[in-house]
Structure 1
Amino acid sequence: MNSRSLMLSVGARFVRVLTAARTRAGEFPGRNQTLSFLGPEPTGEAAATFHVREKRKLSARLREFFVYSPALGRTVGVRVLLPGRPSEVADVIYLFHGGGDDFRSWTDLGAAEQLTADSPYLVVMPDAGAASYSRHTIGGGERTETTLDWPTFHTAELPAFIADRYSVNSERSGALLAGLSMGGYGAMKYAAQHPDRYCAAAAFSSPLDPLSAVPLFDIIALREGGAAKSLFGDPKRDLAEWQANSPMSLAPNLAGTDLWFTAGSGTPHADDEDEDHVDVLEATVNQHGLKFHERLTALGIDHTWSPRATGLHNWFAWQRELAEWLAALDDPSRRGTSAAGGGLPGLRDEQPVAAGARGVHDGAAFTYVTGEPVFAVHGWDVAISRRRAQLVTFAEVTPASFTLNGAGTFRVRTPALYHPGQRYRIAISSPLAENVYDLAADADGRLELTGRMAGALHDPIVPGKRTRHFRTWGQDALTTVSITPLDSPEDATGADAAAGTGSGMGTGSRSGAEAFPGPVSAERSADGPSSAAADPSTSAPGPEPRRAR
């Protein structure tokens, strides 16, 4: 074990002792907001709806809300900074805090209000408890078991609340994520889990490879009041859960997202004049940034990695990094570095779009990696019935075909990419069976497909080295699904022919993308293709920011 891992492990042991004392007292850092003035938490019908319990005007631009979240089962705080340059519709930056901080930190300590004084963005700074940015079940035994669903609060409830209260751009091009330390981890993870919702993500001094920082994530779990390894389980036994929550594992999803991440070396900067030691935590996350940079480069994903020659894990660094990222967003030289048609916030009307460029919602190919058994991305709804967690790659997805890896059974509901009533031949090829059947698109132009994948993963009767292959058997097996329009109009039903929809895609003279001209009843989106062309050449890390392709 190297010195950095040893120090984190010692820190984790210390936090375990501290947590035991706090458990007896019923106190946890993630819950130490003073909310007694609000009275008891809502119950009954009130506890089933997201609502504002208290709001305050703290300055000309700064607003503070205390909101009840059904996903968390408790009241939390949110601060909102109005745009420094008001406009009719504003893009939104969701700015996340780190471990040990809360929703007040970016304005109280991070100078966010001053740094955004001339910014066109609405800045939303929500609470994140101890900062796991994950679903976390705590309690059990003598305590009531509670699940804190931070991702649902941050990516579903909060955006809906902001869109309802403010005039904001609700498209992908108007949603950006950023954060420091664990907040940057959350920003990158949410961007990877929802590539169709966020156009940009930034991480300042963040652990982007959880499997390389298990003690750090144990500390976060303990600070929230959970047990050690209660976040994602044991790294060996529950590897798929760790991968499902790792920006490193989900990196392929970030093609087409504007990425910026940075970290210091751990040696003091001129601003840190009272410090004379090496910051082990900052040096560790610097290595995470380097590994993430190498991973994105290998995948050919455009990004900015800006390592610092100096800098500790403190607010001096994060203020500088937030200021530089905001300046970079408005830098004309960065135009066109995201996926075609996506562009950078504030530059959408100035971005040239290549002739014939097609977005994902128009049928362009994309690949999506996830650990969730039920997910929705780019209008595709996928549900997988499985016995054990596994990392799933939903790959080369087009209106004509897609692939899935893993075991179990699947159900896929497509976007409205097909002609209502038109019949299609579905061919499913998996390790278990070859299945071919015909299916008509519904009135919205969607198809609902079901099929079998590899054999279900299961637990061996006698666990051990000799039977461990049973725990992963079938996980790498590939299932291929093809969707082909039937050639002749007479293959459509009489009702379909009467509606005049039976022959729209059945000429037999077109193939691939040409056979699927795009959605009939859905509005086309211009969020760009799922990946951008990339130049694999890179330069060695240095103190200056650079674009890596």
Structure 2
Amino acid sequence: MINIQCNFRAKSLYMPITINVLLPSFFEHAATEESLDEVYKDKQFCYKTLYLLHGGVEDAHSWLAYTNIEKYADKHKLAVVLPSVGNSFYTDLVHGPAYWTFVSEELPRFCQSVFPLSDKREDNFVAGLSMGGYGAFKMALNHPDRFAAAISLSGALDIVGVLTQPDMIRNKLEDYFENLAAVQNTGNDLFYQLKKLKGSGTKIPRLYMACGVDDFIYAINQKYLKFLKEEKVPVTYEEGPGAHEWNFWDTYIERGINWLFQ
């Protein structure tokens, strides 16, 4: 893959931000000694794109460091956009930057303007792990007109349940969402948002979930899986040995990407 680190001023954040963008390298042309400018000259089309979201206490570099995401994406000639949004839970922080507006609105517009990325719904996907799994489903369910599919690995899909736990996340509730009223029955609540889409007859993006059976967030994933089945919303679900760890995520991001192209 071509790995581009791009720094630009984000209007929604009122500050510069750095993202990584992976573009197909057409490595098979290496044997012919063609340079990439020669290869790309003949590739006058825009790429299918995966927006890949990191988890809490991580950033975009974690995906590059701990998985073979470049290999998996290049196999399908899939571009990948990797933003870094801190521990924001992919929301517009009450006391901080508007990361939700950035990642769901400004980031796709910017990337589709600067890089050869398709803006067609059928060519755009979003995936993430843990906090990013929540962010991925949130993006797809709030913008079903722009994303054809979403992948959640060990996702914090029951955000109300997560934020009411007696731990450090609960203590930061006011920094993220101000109060539970700002979460429940809004676009932040994945249960509510899916019911809203279903009730309006909106086409729901394809959904893929995976979680390790030893993961502390396993019960939350089972709860959302049960909810999807009760709502008769199609979902592909996989589980396997593993906890909240990169070995599991590396395996299942590959499986998830392969699923996108089935």
What TM bracket, shorter-length normalisation?
0.7 to 0.9
- The match for 1:198 is 147
Find the partner of 1:69 among 3, 10, 15. 10
Whether 2:92 is the aligned partner of 1:135: answer yes
C-alpha displacement of 1:131: 3.7
Q: Secondary structure at the match of 1:148?
A: coil
How well do the aligned residues superpose, as a CA RMSD in angstroms? 2.2
Find the partner of 1:328 among 248, 259, 262. 259
User: Is the 1:218–1:231 Cα contact (8 Å) retained in structure 2?
Assistant: no
For residues 5-24 of structure 1, what are the alpha-carbon distances to aligned partners after superposition, in whole Å with 9 as ceiling and x for unaligned? xxxxxxxxxxxxxxxxxxxx
> Residue type of the partner of 1:186?
G
CA distance in 1, matches of 2:110, 2:168: 31
- The match for 2:243 is 312
User: Is the 1:221–1:230 Cα contact (8 Å) retained in structure 2?
Assistant: no
- Sort the Cα spacing of 1:220 and 1:134 in 2 relative to 1 into closer, same or farther, 3 A: farther
C-alpha displacement of 1:195: 1.3
- The match for 2:218 is 286
Which structure has more relative contact order (CA 8 Å, sep 6+)? It is 2
- The match for 1:179 is 128
Whether 2:174 is the aligned partner of 1:234: answer no
C-alpha displacement of 1:228: 4.4
CA distance in 2, matches of 1:153, 1:110: 25
- Sort the Cα spacing of 1:314 and 1:217 in 2 relative to 1 into closer, same or farther, 3 A: farther
Find the partner of 2:20 among 55, 75, 79. 79
Q: TM-score, normalised by structure 2?
A: 0.84
C-alpha displacement of 1:165: 1.4
For residues 149-196 of structure 1, what are the alpha-carbon distances to aligned partners after superposition, in whole Å with 9 as ceiling and x for unaligned? 112111211111111112222121111000011011000011111111
Find the partner of 1:295 among 195, 202, 227. 227
User: Is the 1:84–1:118 Cα contact (8 Å) retained in structure 2?
Assistant: no
> Residue type of the partner of 2:224?
F
- Sort the Cα spacing of 1:148 and 1:188 in 2 relative to 1 into closer, same or farther, 3 A: same
- Sort the Cα spacing of 1:82 and 1:307 in 2 relative to 1 into closer, same or farther, 3 A: same
Q: Secondary structure at the match of 1:242?
A: coil
> Residue type of the partner of 1:231?
Y
CA distance in 2, matches of 1:217, 1:161: 39
- The match for 1:262 is 210
- The match for 2:65 is 108
- Sort the Cα spacing of 1:217 and 1:263 in 2 relative to 1 into closer, same or farther, 3 A: farther
CA distance in 1, matches of 2:165, 2:224: 18
C-alpha displacement of 1:219: 3.7
Structure 1 or 2: more strand by fraction: 1
- The match for 2:189 is 246
C-alpha displacement of 1:83: 2.1
> Residue type of the partner of 1:241?
V
CA distance in 1, matches of 2:114, 2:169: 32
Superposed, which structure 2 residues align to 1:20-419 within 5 Å? 61-85=2-26, 87=43, 88-138=45-95, 147-214=96-163, 219=168, 227-235=172-180, 238=181, 241-244=183-186, 245-252=188-195, 253=197, 255-266=203-214, 282-283=215-216, 285-308=217-240, 310-331=241-262
C-alpha displacement of 1:112: 1.4
Tell me the number of residue pairs that the alignment of Structure 1 and Structure 2 aligns.
240
Structure 1 or 2: more helix by fraction: 2
Q: Secondary structure at the match of 1:168?
A: coil
CA distance in 1, matches of 2:167, 2:192: 19
User: Is the 1:135–1:149 Cα contact (8 Å) retained in structure 2?
Assistant: yes
- Sort the Cα spacing of 1:323 and 1:216 in 2 relative to 1 into closer, same or farther, 3 A: farther
C-alpha displacement of 1:215: 5.0
C-alpha displacement of 1:221: 8.0
Q: Percent identity?
A: 26
For residues 331-360 of structure 1, what are the alpha-carbon distances to aligned partners after superposition, in whole Å with 9 as ceiling and x for unaligned? 2xxxxxxxxxxxxxxxxxxxxxxxxxxxxx
Q: Secondary structure at the match of 2:185?
A: helix
> Residue type of the partner of 2:178?
G
For residues 93-141 of structure 1, what are the alpha-carbon distances to aligned partners after superposition, in whole Å with 9 as ceiling and x for unaligned? 0000000111211112222122223122110001111141001122xxx
CA distance in 1, matches of 2:11, 2:165: 28
CA distance in 2, matches of 1:316, 1:158: 29
Superposed, which structure 2 residues align to 1:490-501 within 5 Å? none
CA distance in 2, matches of 1:292, 1:228: 21
User: Is the 1:133–1:150 Cα contact (8 Å) retained in structure 2?
Assistant: yes
Q: Secondary structure at the match of 2:4?
A: strand
**Deviation beyond 3 Å, 4+ runs, structure 1:** 84-87, 215-222
Can you give the 5+ residue segments of structure 2 that lack an aligned partner in the other structure?
Answer: 27-39
User: Is the 1:209–1:247 Cα contact (8 Å) retained in structure 2?
Assistant: yes
Can you give the 5+ residue segments of structure 1 that lack an aligned partner in the other structure?
Answer: 1-59, 139-146, 267-281, 332-549
User: Is the 1:79–1:125 Cα contact (8 Å) retained in structure 2?
Assistant: yes
C-alpha displacement of 1:80: 0.6
